[in-house]
Amino acid sequence: MPGDRLRVEVEGRSLELSNLDKVLYPQAGFTKGEVIDYYTRVAPALLPHLRDRALTRIRYPNGVTGGSFFEKNRPAATPDWVRVETLPAPGSTKGRETIDYVVADDLPTLVWLANLAALELHTPQWRIGANPDMLVVDLDPGPPAGLRECCQVAVLTRDRLAADGLDSYPKTSGRKGMQLCCPVAGAQPADLVSDYAHRVARELEGAHPKLVVSRMAKNLRPRKVLVDWSQNNAAKTTVAPYSLRAEPNPTVSTPLTWAEVEAAADGDDTAVRPFTAAEALARIDRYGDLLAPLRHGGPELPA
């Protein structure tokens, strides 16, 4: 029955799960129980990317067609074993000076969040108490441009970043775009990381004006790919690798190989697409975590 509750033990923590048969993705018939199962199975790859990062959740208690809300602050009745960190709130729309963030360091916390229908998990580019250890370039196509054009710009961006000694790792957004993630040394504040990303975006726009745009104005974006450098602002977050997305189907922000990106850039429309939860798990079985290098840091950015 939809109202049934189930008491489970997860790594020594007792959790009460509810409404497991509730359909959260109506088009796919994907239930809350399947959401919890996905996050449980993907946890070994996902948790290292969440660890020590303040977590923003987007919750869909009535499914992806039933409305949603952003949640940064700890929810009511948060178990006392869930890690909570009180941090400054740059850019808070509610005028808060601090927020009590949940930090998902372990499987019980991840299962608890999934049971709250926290379908989307978003993190900043920095660990708690540190400078950014990752630079993110968000590639957002303006129709009729799509993933093929994103992949073309991804290759150009990869090569530009490599000229400065930066390795970049691609993933889909789980929607129409993609991101490149670059490990950095964590020695520079967010404004310097953002300034560097902005400079690279402007250079790409100057070199490829028919394909790339670095400015947000909507009238400039049709048929081009926005290289969104602003994701590196201290107040911004990016969807975490392996997070579900609130699309008609349970798609996932999925790491890619550069061979796939290059094939898509050359016109193979099957190489890169919004992969589903089942496909993302199968890819982990095949490739492992393609974003594992992000855990180990990288170089300082050039001045």
CATH of the domain at 186: 3.30.70.3300
Instruction: For residue range 180-207, list pLDDT tens digits in order.
Output: 999 999 999 999 999 999 999 999 999 9
pLDDT at residue 114 tops 90? yes
- Is 129 part of a structural domain of the chain? no
Over residues 214-226, mean pLDDT: 90
Instruction: For residue range 47-95, list pLDDT tens digits in order.
Output: 999 999 999 999 999 999 999 999 999 999 999 999 999 998 866 555 6
CATH number for the domain spanning 67: value is 3.90.920.10
Residue 203: give the domain boundaries.
Answer: 134-296
Instruction: For residue range 233-279, list pLDDT tens digits in order.
Output: 988 999 999 999 999 999 999 999 999 999 999 999 999 999 999 99
Task: Compute, in degrees rounded to 10, the torsion defined by CA atoms 165, 259, 120, 20.
Answer: -150
- Domain boundary at 65, 90, 123, which? 123
Percentage of the chain surpassing pLDDT 90? 91
189 and 289 housed in the same domain = yes
- Domain boundary at 123, 157, 180, which? 123
Structural domain count, the chain = 2
Over residues 202-230, mean pLDDT: 94
- Domain boundary at 74, 90, 123, which? 123
138 and 117 housed in the same domain = no
Residue 1: the pLDDT is: 42
pLDDT at residue 303 tops 90? no
pLDDT at residue 151 tops 90? yes
- Is 17 part of a structural domain of the chain? yes
277 and 145 housed in the same domain = yes
pTM above 0.75, yes or no: yes
Do 125 and 49 touch, CB atoms closer than 8 A? no
111 and 79 housed in the same domain = yes
- Is 278 part of a structural domain of the chain? yes
Q: How far is CA 84 from CA 122, 151, 234, 289, in A?
A: 16, 38, 19, 27
CA 232 – CA 180 distance, rounded (Å): 12
